[in-house]
């Protein structure tokens, strides 16, 4: 029995043999140049290579020595002490360049200014953060909330409703059959995991459908669960004049929702009449929020936001408040949300004395961008704009995030439990700035001219920077996949797609040739990308296995912010469809800005 299985194993090994690949010509040339034509590279020569070719200007000889030591220990283990005093061979040098942990493509530390107001940052934002799957029938749970926080998500959305006996608060997607989870369970999990991935603040956006007594209960829960972690706005002022900075709010939890109604209006007439009139005027502008619509109905709606079955947190859906219970709940709301009466122009009006948050569906933003793009940019310089998926995305899919970012929207809210190319872009953006969940908006989105002029996302702009990308080779699939995963009888046929997601003028995808029957494909192909807005560009990388008879197989992806790319030759780790990094699969690539 043992011998027959052994024979099969030998047969497979022969069939799927992984050839040793030698270093690419550019790597050999760099080694020859910096080792002065010798057979070994010493730490000073490695330092020169890192400074001159990889633009790591502050590397010292001691740093280079430490890197050499790491490489030798990793490659030769106990033999390290017998090697020639931290001198690297060509193979050692190649190993270093192709090691994700030693030579990654982007920096891993927070390096941006974190002292500007929150409105100056893109913030990693979740939508319906409690759903385990689709928007209509999946269970609600604290598990997806924990997963999101561990990935660096900084904005968690909770829809809060009375439970069936009206004496406690549940989190669920309203008007659907999603099974609920208790609010207190979600809050405790947020407290426990909030700052595992990042020290910067976590915002909880509450979509509130509660009567006054339960709002009072929520205030109690929040205060008791978070204690000193909870950020309280100044009790003297009704509203923040400017948002604090991420640095000031480190390790704090911030509540954002619509304040109780009676603080927004003078109580000069009967509440019930007032409430009805508000509902009528809201529907004129923002539209009713029915429980479901067909995709065609969605597309027929105009900006008014009509047709979002998202029951978003700005919908007027609250009962009247008892005056003695309202103040505590209201005092915990640091970021006030709300859709003002009137149309789009009114919604985007900037108040010099207070800041707020406005939510628009993805289609409402598209409409606003067509007619009032610069007003949106102006609004987001001081206030927070949250964009959320349209109501017909029942399967928890996502939209293209770039339109939100181009207009300065801080909270581009995504269904983190789904996956697909849009989510890869979101993950790519938030690999910036050490993955801390806050990315400083480019200066051009924050500038205002002497006559109030701001960036116009519709302007045709000249090329500002050109990125050259060379794809040398790939490796690691034979370690992370079964030998028969891609093809039953022969090694895989890999090709790489590489391109840019950014403003429309910069967006493009290109591809390498297919390398047949190679577990370690070598492409050695270069691509050039002229960029008009490099600050918002994301480098998209996908590897597929060519399949003649069926759809090509997915073999890995990554998405990297162009502004964070380190020049020179680097190892780029690839991820699965959910964005989780494979243990071994990686590409060797070179980045150059000209």
DSSP string, 15-82: HT-----PPPHHHHHHHHHHTTTSS-B-HHHHHHHHHHTT--TT--HHHHHHHHHHHHHHHHGGGGGG
- Mean pLDDT within 255-262: 85
Q: In the prediction, which pLDDT does 16 show?
A: 54
Q: In the prediction, which pLDDT does 2 show?
A: 43
- Is residue 127 part of the annotated active site? The answer reads yes
Q: Which of 127, 336, 478, 570 is catalytic?
A: 127
Q: The whole model's pTM is what?
A: 0.88
Inter-residue contact 249 to 200 (CB < 8 Å):
yes
Residue 469's H or E segment, with its range, is: strand 465-475
Residue with tokens 């409409």: 367
pLDDT tens sequence across 193-228: 999 999 999 999 999 999 999 999 999 999 999 999
Output 470 or 84, whichever has higher pLDDT.
470
User: Other CB atoms closer than 10 Å to residue 69's CB: what's the count?
Assistant: 14
CATH assignment, 118-263+273-446:
3.20.20.190
CATH topology of domain 16-97: Recoverin; domain 1 (1.10.238)
Q: In the prediction, which pLDDT does 78 show?
A: 52
Q: Which pLDDT band holds residue 84 (cuts at 50, 70, 90)?
A: low
Q: Which pLDDT band holds residue 324 (cuts at 50, 70, 90)?
A: low
User: Cα 173 to chain center, whole Å?
Assistant: 23
Q: In the prediction, which pLDDT does 488 show?
A: 86
Distance CA(222)–CA(488), nearest Å, equals 56
Output 287 or 238, whichever has higher pLDDT.
238
* Domain coordinates in residue numbering, the chain: 16-97, 118-263+273-446, 465-593
Of the chain, the percentage scoring pLDDT greater than 70 comes to 84
Q: Which pLDDT band holds residue 79 (cuts at 50, 70, 90)?
A: low
CATH topology of domain 465-593: Immunoglobulin-like (2.60.40)
Q: Which of 95, 170, 173, 407 is catalytic?
A: 173
In 3D, which of 114, 316, 115, 119 has the Cα closest to residue 203? Answer: 119
User: Other CB atoms closer than 10 Å to residue 521's CB: what's the count?
Assistant: 28
3-state SS of 390-406 is CCCCCCCCCCCCHHHHH
pLDDT tens sequence across 14-39: 455 666 789 999 999 999 999 999 99
pLDDT tens sequence across 525-579: 999 999 999 999 999 999 999 998 789 999 999 999 999 999 999 999 999 999 9
Least confident interval from 187-201, 223-237, 365-379, 497-511: 223-237
Q: In the prediction, which pLDDT does 542 show?
A: 98
* Residue 301 pLDDT > 70: no
User: Other CB atoms closer than 10 Å to residue 247's CB: what's the count?
Assistant: 14
* Residue 80 pLDDT > 60: no
User: Cα 458 to chain center, whole Å?
Assistant: 24
pLDDT tens sequence across 463-495: 999 999 999 999 999 999 999 999 988 999 999
pLDDT tens sequence across 400-452: 999 999 999 999 999 998 789 999 999 999 999 999 999 999 999 999 999 88
Inter-residue contact 199 to 153 (CB < 8 Å):
no
Distance CA(402)–CA(568), nearest Å, equals 27
Distances (CA, A) of 536 to 369, 402, 442, 502, 531: 17, 8, 8, 6, 10
């Amino acid at each position: 029995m043992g011998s027959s299985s052994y024979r099969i194993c030998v047969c497979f090994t022969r069939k799927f043999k992984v050839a040793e690949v030698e270093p690419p010509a550019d790597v050999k040339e760099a080694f020859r140049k910096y080792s002065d034509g010798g057979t070994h590279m010493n730490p000073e020569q490695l330092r020169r290579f890192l400074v001159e070719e990889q633009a790591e200007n502050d590397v010292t000889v001691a740093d280079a020595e430490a890197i050499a030591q790491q490489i030798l220990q990793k490659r030769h283990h106990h033999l390290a002490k017998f090697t020639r005093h931290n001198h690297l061979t060509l193979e050692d040098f190649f190993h270093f360049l192709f090691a994700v942990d030693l030579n990654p493509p982007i920096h891993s530390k927070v390096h941006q200014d974190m002292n500007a107001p929150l409105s100056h940052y893109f913030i990693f934002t979740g939508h319906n953060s409690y759903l385990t799957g689709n928007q209509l029938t999946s269970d609600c749970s604290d598990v997806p909330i924990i997963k999101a926080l561990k990935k660096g998500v900084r904005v968690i959305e909770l829809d809060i409703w009375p439970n069936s006996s009206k004496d406690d608060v549940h989190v669920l997607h309203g008007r659907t059959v999603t099974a609920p989870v208790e609010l207190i369970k979600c809050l405790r999990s947020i407290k426990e995991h909030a700052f595992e991935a990042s020290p910067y603040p976590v915002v909880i956006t509450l979509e509130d459908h509660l009567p006054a007594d339960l709002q009072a209960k929520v205030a109690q829960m929040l205060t008791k669960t978070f204690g000193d972690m909870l950020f309280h706005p100044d009790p003297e002022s009704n509203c923040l004049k400017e948002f604090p900075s991420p640095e000031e709010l480190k390790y704090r939890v911030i509540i954002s929702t619509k304040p109780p109604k009676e603080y927004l209006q003078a109580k000069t007439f009967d509440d019930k009449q007032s409430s009805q009139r508000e509902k009528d005027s809201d529907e004129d502008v923002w539209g009713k929020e029915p429980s479901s619509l067909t995709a065609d109905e969605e597309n027929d709606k105009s900006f008014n936001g009509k047709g979002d079955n998202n029951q978003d947190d700005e919908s007027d859906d609250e009962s009247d408040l008892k005056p003695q219970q309202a103040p505590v709940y209201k005092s915990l709301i640091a970021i006030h949300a709300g859709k003002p009466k009137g149309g789009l122009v009114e919604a985007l009006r900037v108040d010099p004395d207070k800041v707020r948050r406005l939510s628009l569906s993805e289609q409402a933003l598209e409409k606003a961008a067509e007619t009032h793009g610069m007003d949106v940019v102006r609004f987001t310089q001081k206030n927070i704009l949250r964009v959320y998926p349209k109501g017909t995305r029942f399967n928890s899919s996502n939209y293209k995030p770039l339109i939100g970012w181009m207009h300065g929207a801080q909270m581009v809210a995504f269904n983190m439990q789904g996956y697909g190319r849009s989510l890869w872009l979101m993950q790519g953006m938030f690999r910036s700035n050490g993955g801390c969940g806050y990315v400083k908006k480019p200066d051009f989105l924050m500038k205002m001219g002497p006559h109030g002029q701001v960036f116009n996302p519709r302007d045709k702009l000249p090329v500002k920077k050109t990125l050259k990308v060379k794809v040398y080779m790939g490796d690691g699939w034979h370690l992370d996949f079964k030998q028969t995963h891609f093809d039953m009888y022969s090694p895989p046929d890999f090709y790489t797609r590489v391109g840019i997601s950014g403003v429309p003028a910069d967006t493009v995808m290109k591809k390498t040739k297919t390398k047949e029957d190679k577990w370690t494909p070598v492409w050695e192909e270069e691509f050039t990308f002229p960029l008009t807005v490099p600050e918002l560009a994301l480098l998209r990388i996908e590897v597929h296995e060519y399949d003649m008879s069926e759809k090509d197989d997915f073999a890995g992806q990554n998405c990297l912010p162009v502004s964070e790319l380190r020049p020179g030759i680097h190892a780029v780790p690839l991820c699965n469809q959910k964005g989780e990094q494979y243990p071994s699969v990686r590409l060797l690539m070179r980045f150059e800005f000209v």
